[in-house]
Chains A and B, each alone.
Chain A
Amino acid sequence: MAVASARSKFHFYNSMTCLLTALEGKVITVEIRNDKVIEGILDLVEADMNLNMSNVVLTDVLGRSTRLTKFYIRGRQIRFVHIPDEVDIIKAMQWQIDKTEYYKGQERKDREKIMDRRQQLREKKSAQLQAREKRM
């Protein structure tokens, strides 16, 4: 979420994407279009719910399976995600949002510092101008 557009932030807070984000690092099972099922480690969730996974087993409707080292799927293709039993859904979402809020807070503090510096510069400039005005 380091560089996030308004769009991706909107999705993060207004869809279930934050729940998926909280599952990063876990082994999950995802049912996708075409009746295929994938199981593997969830590496990264993007704002549109696109998933980056690794060590995936892709099983089709006939039960044939393929092992895939790295895997990327568009969010739109996802039908269901099986949430591991040990995950408390509400807690996971809350935790993820709190974590993001925290980093956002930090980010704002940094921005604030930059703004302060700029403001000081501007004040200095306008003071110079006022001084010049007086001379005139």
Chain B
Amino acid sequence: MVLLVNHSVPTEGIRHREPNVTTNIEGNDIGSGTLYITESFVLWLNDGDQGIQLEYKLICLHAISRDRQNFPHEHLLCHYVGKLPGLNEDNESDEENEDDKESESELLEIRFVPQNKESLQPMFEALANCQTLHPDSDCQLSGDDFEDADDDGSGDGIYGSEDGVAHLTEQGRNNLERLNQLLDAGQGDADITTRTNLIRIANGHDEEPPVDSEQFEDADNMEE
């Protein structure tokens, strides 16, 4: 049986709050309470502020089930590969390291049954949106790859190297050329910045800077 842990009621980043949700873990009802879908975690709390907290990265799938053959109520199904206190906690945790966090035996089926069936859709969407906020950090490529790709002036983290360009079709190369020209055409800023700075220096005073510097910050953001 899962151990319910004391949690404080979340206050920040709540994307969905659903009262009167019955939670069922692996076929065992653990009571009714409130489900909070926040930007950092999913939390279900009963009236005594005790409950379970789920991490997004470990919720491998979620779905709306209206199929009453397997379960008598319409519900939000989550497959969770993390550990919950009181469940699958001790059996292998010492020997297994982090890599095996998702080993196949540890999957938990968690069902959230809201009293109000209309809430299933918004609950599903809130969960999906928050999942998007939590990409897998070790997903094939390290963060450096993105940064490198983005810094080389090609703009979008694509075709950063000669190699990449070589793999393009002729049309692709033409497209790239055209887009690069478009980009270059849009970048007259360096020139105007220098000029306005010169004017400022010539004026010899800095009060009331000639051009709102925020404008340029904006412009930089545009090009990212």
B61, A71: Cβ atoms under 8 Å? yes
Q: Does A26 contact B (CB under 8 A)?
A: no
Q: How many pairs, one residue from A and one from B, have CB atoms within 8 Å of each other in the complex? A: 151
The answer to whether B136 touches A74, judged by C-beta atoms less than 8 angstroms apart, is yes
A77:B124 contact, CB within 8 angstroms: no
Q: Known contacts A72-B128, A74-B61; decide if A133 and B183 are in contact (CB<8 Å).
A: no
Q: How far is the CB of B122 from chain A (nearest CB, A)?
A: 11
Total residues of chain A contacting the partner, CB 8 A: 55
Q: Chain B interface: which size bin?
A: 35 or more
Contact in complex: A125, B186 (CB < 8 Å):
no
Asked if B128 contacts A125 (CB within 8 A), the reply is no
Closest to A125 in B: B211
A69 to chain B, nearest CB (A): 4
In angstroms, how far is the closest chain B Cβ from the Cβ of A99?
12
Name the residue of chain B whose CB is nearest to the CB of A13.
B158
**Contact partner, B136, options A76, A104, A136, Cβ 8 Å:** A76
Instruction: Tell me the nearest residue of chain A to B58, going by C-beta.
Output: A74
- Name B residues whose Cβ lies closer than 8 Å to a Cβ of A: 57, 59-67, 70, 77, 79, 102, 104, 107, 121, 124, 127-128, 131-132, 135-136, 139-141, 145-146, 149-150, 156-159, 169, 171-172, 175, 178-179, 182-183, 185-189, 192, 195-196, 199, 202-203, 210-211, 215, 219, 222, 224
What are 7 A-B contacts with C-beta separation under 8 Å? A13-B159, A66-B65, A70-B121, A72-B124, A112-B182, A123-B192, A133-B203
